[in-house]
Structure 1
């Protein structure tokens, strides 16, 4: 069976098997065998290819990374744990946004704090998109039961829906900007996810606590790790079920 994930990752990055072979110092036929015969490269070659195509080893070769190793790498992906979102320095949010070169992903119900702490955020996101960064903002549907249930659990009925409608007004200014998608979802969120290329802030949700008072993990993706990819996959699943506003 061919390794379609490896083939797709190489093509998606505008490369050829021969180009990859040249970069890592192997025969082009070797790379072809890795693709067509699904042979597993040596670890040093897996590391190099994963870095070139910006994918994890566990995605490209699921059987090559043992669960124990993936777990150890996942622990190394955790840069910092904040006891509450309000403890995350504003400079960190802005630095992650400014450094993003490929993608900015937001999965939340409202995430109103982002535009409240930086009134220029919408303009920054527009410019990032014009510079080639893909911006995807997934916001809750204020008319769905999950939204009101969240508000009731936090002791503030009606507030979450109001926040969503308010933040939609901010992001409406991005309508028509190439590379920007503002979408609606009705998922029950277990975490809010903020991704900036290979770094991510995950705001865990705790029953009865508003998001600013719940913990946040700062993650950085490592090849072969599975913690970052777990949340990246979660974002992609919600994205697939969301609708464009």
Structure 2
């Protein structure tokens, strides 16, 4: 894969293609009526790029995200396969003597003598290689069944509503990634309050508002669930472990 220039490479690394709806026009519309103006030197093109790439980082692979196969289903599938392997091993281990002899004869008929003992006059004694391979394969089935059973037992149990917990963790992570973008765009530190649960507080903070507008634009309104709790956690993470972006991904940050 080749790229025309550094900007095209940054667009690829920044996953611009994964959130194509986050355009300067869309961000401008989403911020209509927002309380703060953009800082000097920042424009809607920069903000759209920064928001799009910071949020795209949070998109999980299907094998890592909350929509992945549950550990309980993984454990059940391993147990099912282990049972199949175990029952197949037992059937083959208890193979009828006549059927086993037929396998020996078939292997002997097709044997080229490799691995056997030459007893002269073109005669070779020993166990046909295909029959040895058959016996080894049967033994491996017993090992395979045990291996899968042990893997199933070692699969960690996921307690409670784990999908909801991981979805919340993703929302917090998105707030953590948006925090430096917000501060660079509007020149104010991020903050969160208890709106709307505290009747004494009449409005959410600008960062809470910004977070809600941007994640709704990128992912839909469902992403604003637990907004107060999520943004508070994101602010704390930002103070403790500010998000870092690869060089060139967020221009001018």
TM superposition score normalised by structure 2: 0.22
Q: Which has the higher strand share?
A: 1
- Structure 1 or 2: more helix by fraction: 2
